Structures are given as structure tokens and as C-alpha cells.
Amino acid sequence: AQKITQTQPGMFVQEKEAVTLDCTYDTSDQSYGLFWYKQPSSGEMIFLIYQGSYDEQNATEGRYSLNFQKARKSANLVISASQLGDSAMYFCAMGNYGGATNKLIFGTGTLLAVQP
Amino acid sequence: DSGVTQTPKHLITATGQRVTLRCSPRSGDLSVYWYQQSLDQGLQFLIQYYNGEERAKGNILERFSAQQFPDLHSELNLSSLELGDSALYFCASSSGHGAGQYFGPGTRLLVL
């Protein structure tokens, strides 16, 4: 069975600093995808970044990058130059490679608070 | 804006009642997924439809059912509602190619 673990219930970061949100996963599949979503207090789920298990380069999307360490089964999200608007809940999720045709398994989330 | 729409945004109802949640996927997306987010269970996959056919089932109660119509919109029906059904219900869609599922704004259901 697939499982996502996020061990940080909450984190603080100063504005303009970088922050790393941890995510470890467990799966026996060779082909899988890892995702990060942001959920602000308004409730919507915003897709941030995707990493496929066969992708050799770490994914980046603007200020978001995914530190993918396959041997350690970790997929940490790095947010550079934090902004006040980054304060939100962040969820790590696993799906199949490509992510489009299968359900997502979510972690419990990390609540990030960006301080001025 | 993800392009996925959900109605209604909020729903307040009583125990024992039945409600219908509606979702319109992004233009061109054939897959629709329903998820439930609650404080005690977190985010859980309920069910997936692909081009009108049920594709996968997760932790969906027998009191819940869903369908996807020819125009690809989907409805999630919740019946004999209990207090514990109070949650945020998300619909997501994907094209079947490339990465990512795109979520709608959710329907917040409160059962009193």
C-alpha cells in the first residue's frame, strides 16, 4: 500500500527566507508521481509541483522546487524567498506516474506560517 | 482559478437528509475525482469517473453515490446524512495526460 508521511505539523519561517517542508513516501511501485498542493485558509487546493519517479532532474516551478531523493524515499518541498502569501497548509501526495489517471494519496499536511 | 467548478459552495442540512454536489471539470478533461476532507480523516479519495464510467473506488460509503454525465459533469449524492459526514468535498479533474489533478473550490457541507 502507498503511504505519505509529513512529520512537521507546523512550521514558522521569516519572510524572504527559504523553507523546506518534509515528505517521505512508501510504495512498492517503480512508477509513481509525487505532488505538492497548497491549501490557503480559504480552502481551495492549489497544485504546485510534480515529480515523476523516472525524472532525473528535480522539478522546479518558480519559487518552488522539489528535492527528490529516491533512495531515501523523500520528496521535500523547498520554497525560496518566502512571502506572507505563502502562509497555508501544504500537502504532499502520491499518485501514478503522470498523475492524471489515478487517485492521489495525501499526507496529513504541514501548516506554514510566514512571519514578517 | 483551476477551471474546475463546484456548486454549491456551502450546504447546511439536517441528519437523515439527502444532498447532491455538482462538479464541472476543466474543459477537455475526461477524468473526475471526488475527495473528502475532514478533520479526523484528512483528505481521502472517494471515487473516480473517466468519460462516464466508474474507474476507481476508494473509501466511499454505501450511502454515497456518484455519476458522470455525457457532458462530463459529475454529481456526488450523499444520503441518510450523519453528523460525521460534515466535511469539505472536493472535485478534481485531469486530462489523462501529463501531470496533475486540478481541484475545484470545494463544497463545505455541514450536517446539523
pLDDT tens digits, B34-55: 999 998 899 999 999 999 999 8
Per-residue pLDDT band at A103 (split at 50, 70, 90) = confident
Q: Buried (b) or exposed (e) across A14-39, using 16+ Cβ within 10 A? A: eeeeebebbbbbebeeeebbbbbbbb
In whole angstroms, give the CA distance from residue B107 to residue B52.
Answer: 22
Task: Share the mean pLDDT of chain B.
Answer: 94
pLDDT at B37: 97
Q: Which residues of A touch B (CB under 8 A)?
A: 33, 35, 37, 43-47, 50, 52, 91, 93, 95, 98-106, 108-109
Which residues in chain B have Cβ-Cβ distances shorter than 8 Å to A103? 33, 45, 48, 56, 58
User: pLDDT: is B96 or B75 the higher one?
Assistant: B75
- Tell me the average pLDDT across A57-72: 96
* Contact across the interface for B95 and A100, Cβ inside 8 Å: yes
Q: Which of B107, B110, B111, B109 is nearest to B6 (CA)?
A: B107
* pLDDT at site B59: 85
Instruction: Give the pLDDT confidence score for residue B96 in this predicted structure.
Output: 67
Dist CA B65 CA B10 (whole Å): 19
Task: Report the C-alpha gap between B43 and B49 in whole angstroms.
Answer: 18
Which pLDDT band, with edges at 50, 70 and 90, does A19 fall under? very high
Q: What is the DSSP letter of B85?
A: G
User: Could you tell me if B36 lies within 8 Å of chain A, comparing CB atoms?
Assistant: no
Whether the pLDDT of residue A101 is over 80: the answer is: no
Length of chain A measured in residues: 116
Residue B102: list chain A partners with CB under 8 A.
47
Chain B environment of A45 (Cβ under 8 Å): 90, 92, 103, 106
Task: Return all residues near B7 (Cβ < 8 A) that are at least 6 apart.
Answer: B21, B22, B107
Arithmetic mean of pLDDT, B69-83: 97
Residue A12: CB atoms within 10 A of its CB come to: 11
Query: Which pLDDT score is estimated for B103?
Result: 95
Distance between CA atoms of residues A116 and A87, nearest Å? 11
What is the pLDDT at residue B99?
64
- How much of chain A exceeds pLDDT 70, in percent? 97
- Is residue A99 pLDDT above 70, yes or no? no
